[in-house]
Amino acid sequence: MTQRMTILYILRRMAKEVRPYWPHLMAILLLNLLAAPIALLAPVPLKIVIDNVAGSQSLPWYLAALAPEALQHSRQGLLVFAVGFLVVIALLSQLRALAGWVLETYAGEGMVLDFRTKLFAHVQRLSLSYHDSKGAADSTFRIQYEAPALQYVMVNGIIPLAAALSTLVGMIWVTSLLDAQLAFIALAVSPVLFLLSYRVGDRLRERWESVRSRETTANSIVQEVLSSLRVVKAFGQEEHERGRFYQESARRMRALVKVAFLQGGFDLSVDITIALGTALTLYIGVLHVQRGMLTLGDLVLVVAYIAQIYSPLQAISKKLADLQGSLVGAERAYRLLDQTPDVAEKIHARPLLRAAGDVRFENVCFSYGGSQSVLENVSLDAPAGTRVGIQGSTGAGKTTLLSLLTRFYDVCGGRILLDGVDIRDYKLADLRNQFGIVLQDSVLFSTSLAENIAYGRRGASMEEIIAAAKLANAHDFISNLPEGYETLAGERGMRLSGGERQRIALARAFLKDAPILILDEPTSSVDVKTESSIIDAMDRLMQGRTTFMIAHRLSTLDSCDLRLEITCNTLCTLQTVGGISQGVHAL
């Protein structure tokens, strides 16, 4: 199990994270601190009405300084001043609230937006093996639901905490001027409070962790089921999935009830500790009065102030407990951010504009983490322009072999060379830019067909897109659609048939015009007629490019210069055509 991050560590990291928002946070804090003096002004107009309008006292100096000269000499004038003052105070208080609200929303949402974007960018950089093992739902949850922890802690947590702390200091100072000993006794409960929040905080955090992990699981069930709804429906498993979802959600609920118990118990202990503190100060205060150290009036004042000391103390302890849930969220978000991609780019990686397409595998070994190796000692040599056909039974490792070439995964042993240079020495983006890929199951995005084709080269013109579609034998079927190139593909391209998706993917590859082609069974899910139209398009696409083509139907591989088969984790040559003879070793 990974070690827990300490609260201090998380807070420090967060403070660094939100550095651009520090001025906003300071302003919010100031606005928070202004609330108390404005609240103190609220009863002043009433005092003016009673003392100076109904009564006949003259205005105290501090109000006389504020009131316009003309209003000070008649009762009518003073009344106008009093009601005017009331409106001004209300306005001030509302303006303060409004400014606070706008600033809090702006800063809070802004920092969450930045943090989310950072997490999202990082998740995209993480290698496929991370996502294979963790699943998409986990990352989604962390990005969408854990990132806001930043706002809860920095805006809704630390600021009220700081405001309460400064009120506390002010109140202690005022009380200690009246009776230092009493102030000290009143404060004696604070270590108890902090110890309490510390102990309970730790346990709360543990419970919150369990709530969050249940939430993630429930969330991933929803995501998984909805993305495979066809299968669920086909096998009539709705009830089973409902049960799975219910169980996880019920576990989450039980964990939350435990949190509520703990938090409720904590609130109760804080309140009781504070009541004990008040009782003690009252007792000792009365003793002081009896000994003549304090007047009765002072005692009343001190007791009132001590109540004022306790309310921020209470707020602070409860806030510390409240924050635990958000701290757990933040920790989970940081854990994601701390994942290092295992397919990493070297610091001084080589740029690569356009490769010639000379590919060499040297004693390549690979396994997906488990003990079972998928490829062992695979060597092959494909000079630029070679068409390599790869066959092999299902699960033999054909897709894996080509995933190594694009560095979706890194080899465990041996090396792969492109134009004589280890592919790990190139910049990742440059390397991947060298491949046009048509996968076993082509996935489209839920945008228009034109945009889907243009995914191969952002910013391609409509003419180029249409030209690519024509080359891929896709233009005809696209033009027959009512909305043509503007037709929406539906989620993952589900509104198109398998063969149609495949041809869009080919058009994408045409548009990308990369020197190396990877065709992973692009005709596996289409009828014979469509297959011949796709093969026809592929033939055009393969011209002048190094091509790796996987096919189950062996006739598809007829046009290849080099035919390989993967069996028992290694490669054997079936047939070499033309000048390529030394290519492959079966080891």
Q: Are 292 and 299 spatial neighbours (Cβ–Cβ below 8 Å)?
A: no
Nearest-angstrom CA–CA distance, 326 and 315: 17
Of 296-304, 391-399, 471-479, 537-545: span binding Mg ion (CB under 5 A)? 391-399
Minimum CB separation of residue 234 from Mg ion in Å reads 23
Nearer to ligand DCP, 375 or 516 (CB): 375
- DSSP-assigned letters across all residues of 288-353: HHHTTSS-HHHHHHHHHHHHHHHHHHHHHHHHHHHHHHHHHHHHHHHHHHTPPPSS---TTPBP-S
Which is closer to ligand DCP, CB of 248 or CB of 565? 565
Single-letter code of the amino acid located at 407: R
The amino acid at 90: A
Of the pair 396, 571, the CB lying nearest ligand DCP is at 396
Q: How far apart are CB 376 and ligand DCP at their closest, in Å?
A: 12
CB of 399 to Mg ion, least distance (A): 3
In the complex with ligand DCP, the residue whose CB is nearer, 157 or 392, is: 392
154 neighbors 18 (Cβ within 8 angstroms): yes
> Least separation, in Å, of the C-beta of 399 and ligand DCP?
3
| Residue closest to Mg ion (Cβ) | 399
Half-sphere exposure of 174 (CA within 13 A, CB side): 16
Helix (H, G, I), strand (E, B) or coil at 167: helix
Q: How far apart are the C-alpha atoms of 164 and 153, rounded to whole Å? A: 15
C-alpha 522/C-alpha 67 separation (Å) is 86
Choose, by CB under 5 A, the member of 139, 213, 399, 569 that binds Mg ion: 399
Work out how close the CB of 347 gets to ligand DCP at its nearest, in angstroms, rounded to a whole number.
28
Q: Taking CB within 5 to 8 Å according to partner kind, which of Mg ion, ligand DCP, none is near residue 395? A: ligand DCP
CB of 493 to ligand DCP, least distance (A): 19
> Toward ligand DCP, which CB reaches closer, 438 or 489?
438
CA–CA separation, 494 and 441 (whole Å)? 11
Residue 329 interaction partner, one of Mg ion, ligand DCP, none, beta carbon < 5-8 Å per kind = none
Which residue, 363 or 440, has its beta carbon nearer to ligand DCP? 440
Determine the interface stretch with Mg ion among 270-278, 340-348, 394-402, 560-568 (rule: CB under 5 A).
394-402
Q: How many residues bind Mg ion (CB under 5 A)?
A: 1
Nearer to ligand DCP, 137 or 183 (CB): 137
Taking the least distance from each CB to ligand DCP, the nearer of 372 and 582 is: 372
Residues 302-313 as b/e (b if ≥16 CB within 10 A, e otherwise) read: bbebbebbbebb
Minimum CB–partner distance for residue 395 and ligand DCP (Å): 4
Which partner from the list ligand DCP, Mg ion, none does 400 bind, CB cut-off 5 to 8 Å by kind? ligand DCP
CB 360 within 8 A of CB 417: yes
By the rule CB under 5 A, 406 interacts with Mg ion: no
338 binds, among ligand DCP, Mg ion, none (CB under 5 to 8 A by kind): none
Helix, coil or strand: residue 323: helix
Amino acid symbol at 559: S
Select from ligand DCP, Mg ion, none the partner in contact with residue 408, using the beta carbon and a kind-dependent cut-off of 5 to 8 Å.
none
> Nearest to residue 129, comparing CAs of 330, 394, 361, 412?
412
Q: Is residue 139 a contact partner of residue 317, using CB atoms and an 8 Å limit? A: no
> How crowded is residue 351: how many other Cβ atoms within 10 Å of its Cβ?
8
State the nearest-atom distance from the C-beta of 33 to ligand DCP, in Å: 55
Identify whether the C-beta of residue 211 lies closer than 8 Å to the C-beta of residue 222: no
585 three-class SS: strand
Report, in Å, the least distance between residue 206 CB and ligand DCP: 33
> What tokens appear for 456 in the block?
């191969």
Report the partner that residue 43 touches, choosing among ligand DCP, Mg ion, none (CB closer than 5 to 8 A by kind): none
Question: Which residues make up the interface to ligand DCP (CB under 6 A)?
Answer: 132, 368, 374, 392, 394-400, 440
Q: Are strands 546-550 and 387-392 parallel, antiparallel or unpaired?
A: parallel
d(CA 542, CA 548): 9
Name the minimum Å distance from CB 218 to ligand DCP. 25
For Mg ion, the binding residues (CB under 5 A) are: 399
